[in-house]
Copies of this chain bind each other. A is one copy, B any other.
Amino acid sequence: SDNFFLLAGPCAIEGEEMALRIAEKIVAITGDLKIPYVFKGSFKKANRSRIDSFSGIGDEKALKILEKVGKTFGIPTVTDIHDVKDAEKAAEYVDVLQIPAFLVRQTDLVVAAAKTGKVVNLKKGQFMSPESMKHAVQKVKDSGNELALITDRGTMFGYQDMIVDFRGIPVMQEFAPTVLDVTHSLQQPNQSSGVTGGKPELIETIARAGIAVGVDGIFIETHHDPSIAKSDGANMLKLNYLEDLLKKLVAIRSVIKNF
């Protein structure tokens, strides 16, 4: 396809009904727009600021829901892993293993993911330069796996803000297809509450810039009602806004693909 691809879904798998409902809606939208779609959902959240933050509904249960979503709609799925022992287990259920940004320097984890033979989506650390993602991709390749993706989710800018450096997109595309995460890159971390803030009203701004620059894919966390989501509600896109956003992105893509 000449189009960009989409990784989208809720931050965390909260239950089967919500996962299927969100997937169904996105499958319909992306089908119309001819956007290759990968369903995204975390089976656990291991890196919350606070110990009382939501961490999941049970690993096995969540992974099976991911598998069911994939089979129900005939689409690939992606989830993030936090531990070497997660790699093989998650690989039984999903198509893409994602390495969280905080963990992308953990060689054991990257190698374990790569050795499953699945696509490995490497999130750029908030503390890493675009150039330094070369080494993360190389670890996947050195493990005999050519299926690496890079996802940019922003870079630290002071303590409580993140910024997307669009200069980094072509740099990282020299190493692997590069995705822009338009929800996490708008986070405002290190808030005194211990709950990360966000600026969801700027999702379209960041996404339009990304597509214009030529990203290969877009990553969006979305939920029917972010205000009741159990994780990252401050950053997710309201699902009702997704179709309008994707239509705009497809329109920009249709121009720049001819450049």
Q: Identify the A interface with B (CB < 8 A).
A: 46-51, 55, 82-84, 102-103, 105-108, 111, 125-129, 131-132, 134-135, 138-139, 142, 155-161, 163-167, 169-170, 186, 189-190, 192, 194, 199, 202, 205-206, 208-214, 248, 251-252, 254-256, 258-259
Q: Are A49 and B158 in contact (CB under 8 A)?
A: no
Q: Are A256 and B208 in contact (CB under 8 A)?
A: yes
- Beyond A167-B205, A255-B252, is A83–B105 a contact (Cβ under 8 Å)? no
What distance in Å separates the Cβ of A44 from its nearest Cβ neighbour in chain B? 9
Contacts of A129 in B (CB 8 A): 159-160, 190
**Bound Cα distance from A126 to B170, whole angstroms:** 24
Contacts of A256 in B (CB 8 A): 208, 248, 251-252
- Beyond A50-B138, A107-B55, A127-B156, is A167–B202 a contact (Cβ under 8 Å)? yes
Q: Are A209 and B202 in contact (CB under 8 A)?
A: no
List the number of copies, as a whole number: 4
Q: Are A83 and B108 in contact (CB under 8 A)?
A: yes
What distance in Å separates the Cβ of A110 from its nearest Cβ neighbour in chain B? 8
Return the chain B residue nearest A163 by Cβ. B165
Contacts of A84 in B (CB 8 A): 83
What distance in Å separates the Cβ of A175 from its nearest Cβ neighbour in chain B? 12
Q: Are A46 and B108 in contact (CB under 8 A)?
A: yes
What distance in Å separates the Cβ of A138 from its nearest Cβ neighbour in chain B? 7
Q: A46-B107, A102-B127 are in contact. List 19 more A-B contacts (CB 8 A).
A: A47-B106, A51-B107, A51-B111, A51-B138, A55-B107, A82-B106, A102-B105, A127-B156, A129-B160, A157-B158, A157-B159, A158-B161, A163-B163, A166-B166, A166-B206, A167-B206, A208-B213, A251-B255, A252-B255
**Bound Cα distance from A256 to B254, whole angstroms:** 12
